[in-house]
Amino acid sequence: MMKEKKGIGESINRLFKDPSSLVLVLTSFAFLILFVIYPLIVVVFTSGFDNWATFFSKPRYGKALLNTVVSSSLSALTATVIGFIYAYAIHYSNIRGKKFFRFIAFIPLLAPSVMSGLAFLLLFGRGGMISQWLNTNFNFELDLYGLPGLWIVQTISYFPLAYMTITGVLRSISPNLEIAAQNLGARGFKLFRTITFKLALPGVINAFLLVAINCFADFGNPKLIGGNYTLLAVEIYGEIINNEAGLASVMGIILVIPALIVFWVQNKILSKGSYSTITGKPVSGLKRITTSKKTDALLFTFNSLISLFIISMFAITILFAFTRNFGRDNTFTLDHIMKVVFSSSSPAVLNSLVLSLISAVLAVAFALVLAYIVVRKPFPGKRILDFSAVLPIALPGTFVGLALIVAFSKGPIVLQGSAALIVIAMLLKQMPVGYRGLTASFKQVDKSIEEAATNLGANSRKTLTTIVFPMLQKTVVANFVYAFMKNMNTLSTIIFLITPKWVVAAVSIFNYAETGTYYWAAAVAVGLMGATLGTLGVIKLIFRSKVKIFDF
């Protein structure tokens, strides 16, 4: 970056000379203050001293907090271990079917996390397929409600997240160091322990933290299979239902604290940098040291078991969606799909699709504007703007939903019951991801290129449209696809915001599963995945090779 004149006066001056940028800056400020800062203040204000006293005087809340910490740590630990082994098998071994295994780890991203809870109920619930089979054949009663079930379900729901994070790290580890270590005599497990694992460690910790926050804020699965094992996010829901916004706010704030700590730790780890980024990309021609035949067999078995588990979860959902009442009446039927996916009185999937698309488009557009002004334009309060833009990424979805409903159901601005509030909630959760990516891309485009264009006579709009945006296109589309998929599957962020007119599919799945209407839950889940896949297909057709969607 070139040295520029500094000082607040100077930057304000320059901003006023550039009215279009001024408008962008002011709009961004207004939006973030209204939808990030204002709800936060209202929540803190609503929590009130009395409610804090109540929270700390009643043991059940303390227990919920403890339960949340315990279950999230356990699930994050197993998800990370499984994610690591799975990724290690794909990147370090000679096993067959790597492409298949990658695909399997990708497909859970298509489904809302609560679908794992649903599939778990269908398989291992009291009346589940496997439980029933065990019961009739071995007279063995399976009861996994509570911590054991929750642990399994969260592990399976979030292992793909751990897998992806760790894959990124394993990919960037250069074989050089491993070969060098081998030449020095390190073999087998010692090589793994002293080199590979050490290099991957920051990524592994990062994966653990990411999964932990996600489990911490997870709402659907604990509500479905937690049983008497109550968690904070579920208690928040209960208090909102009982019209105790104050108590819910107290718990919301408590829910945020560990998330913020994790966010801070994560930034520390990332900014310290890992060894892997220093050594750079793999050098071509060098072949990675791979595992022994025995290890390969073990890894293959491991990955196959995990894949089998995931496939059976999807299979049981599909079976339930297309049969009358699977297990009791296996006749093929389209009834459920017609009733809850393609019916005018049940527009949940359509609602999800449209709201997710709108929100994803807006999120990416807003991220683009923010990244542009933050990287390129000098103005006072830039750090505040940057902070409030990335803040929602650290906030659990349950909290974002809570804050929006508390702030906009009463008071000067009432948005409750509108589709706008749902779109905004989705946007807030996804925009920071795009914003971070785009900021990085903007920084990569050297300012001198733009200046050169300006010198050659292009005005700032032309510079942007012909120089900057084409270079950002890949990031933009990738972020759009990511935001869209996440929006389709979000539950905890919008559970408080839906209305009869704006029911969304993830909430429908949750409601049907909770009340035991499993075939409808399964039908909506299938409809939702179909809609996601269809849209991604259309995007793929439009952008062809420019977007990597199905590249696993």
Residue with tokens 């839950």: 521
Q: Which is nearer to other proteins, 7 or 534 (CB)?
A: 534
Residues in contact with 124: Cβ distance below 8 Å, sequence separation at least 6, in sequence order: 130, 131, 142, 144, 149, 152
| Upper half-sphere CA count for residue 184 (Cβ side, 13 Å) | 10
546 lies in the site for other proteins, by CB under 8 A: yes
Where does this chain touch other proteins (CB under 8 A) — which range of 283-291, 313-321, 377-385, 500-508? 500-508
Query: Which of 282, 511, 530, 533 touches other proteins (CB under 8 A)?
Result: 511
Where does this chain touch other proteins (CB under 8 A) — which range of 160-168, 187-195, 354-362, 427-435? 354-362
Q: Which is nearer to other proteins, 315 or 458 (CB)?
A: 458
Q: Which is nearer to other proteins, 88 or 510 (CB)?
A: 510
| Residue closest to 211 by CA, chosen among 154, 254, 171, 172 | 154
500 lies in the site for other proteins, by CB under 8 A: yes
- Minimum distance from residue 90 beta carbon to other proteins (Å): 32
Q: Which is nearer to other proteins, 301 or 466 (CB)?
A: 466
Q: For residues 254-313, which are near other proteins according to CB under 8 A?
A: none
Query: Which of 27, 292, 331, 473 touches other proteins (CB under 8 A)?
Result: 473
243 lies in the site for other proteins, by CB under 8 A: yes
- Minimum distance from residue 350 beta carbon to other proteins (Å): 7
Site for other proteins (CB under 8 A): how many residues?
39
134 lies in the site for other proteins, by CB under 8 A: no
- Minimum distance from residue 394 beta carbon to other proteins (Å): 28
69 lies in the site for other proteins, by CB under 8 A: no
**Amino acid at position 89, single letter:** A
- Phi first, then psi: give them for residue 329, nearest 5 degrees: -140, 100
- Minimum distance from residue 160 beta carbon to other proteins (Å): 27
Task: Compute the distance between CA of residue 521 and CA of residue 526 in angstroms, rounded to an integer.
Answer: 9
Transcribe 336-404 into DSSP letters. Answer: HHHHHTSBTTB-HHHHHHHHHHHHHHHHHHHHHHHHHHHHH---TTHHHHHHHHHHHHHS-HHHHHHHH
364 lies in the site for other proteins, by CB under 8 A: no
- Minimum distance from residue 146 beta carbon to other proteins (Å): 12
Query: Which of 7, 280, 381, 470 touches other proteins (CB under 8 A)?
Result: 470
354 lies in the site for other proteins, by CB under 8 A: yes
- Minimum distance from residue 430 beta carbon to other proteins (Å): 16
498 lies in the site for other proteins, by CB under 8 A: yes
240 lies in the site for other proteins, by CB under 8 A: yes
Where does this chain touch other proteins (CB under 8 A) — which range of 186-194, 203-211, 276-284, 357-365? 357-365
345 lies in the site for other proteins, by CB under 8 A: yes
- Minimum distance from residue 488 beta carbon to other proteins (Å): 15
- Minimum distance from residue 127 beta carbon to other proteins (Å): 9
Q: For residues 516-535, which are near other proteins according to CB under 8 A?
A: 517, 520
- Residue 325's DSSP bridge partners are 329
Q: For residues 405-424, which are near other proteins according to CB under 8 A?
A: 409-410, 414, 416-417
- Minimum distance from residue 344 beta carbon to other proteins (Å): 6
Task: Compute the distance between CA of residue 253 and CA of residue 292 in angstroms, rounded to an integer.
Answer: 50
Where does this chain touch other proteins (CB under 8 A) — which range of 156-164, 212-220, 338-346, 366-374? 338-346
DSSP 466: I
Sequence-separated contacts (24+) of 5-10 with Cβ below 8 Å? 8/380, 10/378
Residue with tokens 């990511």: 482
* Residues 313 and 116: beta-carbon distance below 8 Å: yes
Transcribe 132-173 into DSSP letters. Answer: HHHHHHH------TTHHHHHHHHHHHHHHHHHHHHHHHHHHS
Token output for 242: 């009982």
DSSP 219: -
Task: Let me know if 413 is exposed, middle or buried by CB neighbors in 10 A (0-12, 13-18, 19+).
Answer: exposed
Cα 552 to the center of its chain, rounded Å:
17
> Kindly report the CA angle at 328 between 221 and 515, in degrees rounded to 5?
30
Q: Which residues bind other proteins (CB under 8 A)?
A: 126, 141, 143, 228, 240-243, 339, 344-345, 350, 354, 357-358, 361, 409-410, 414, 416-417, 466, 470, 473, 498-501, 503, 511-512, 515, 517, 520, 538-539, 542-543, 546
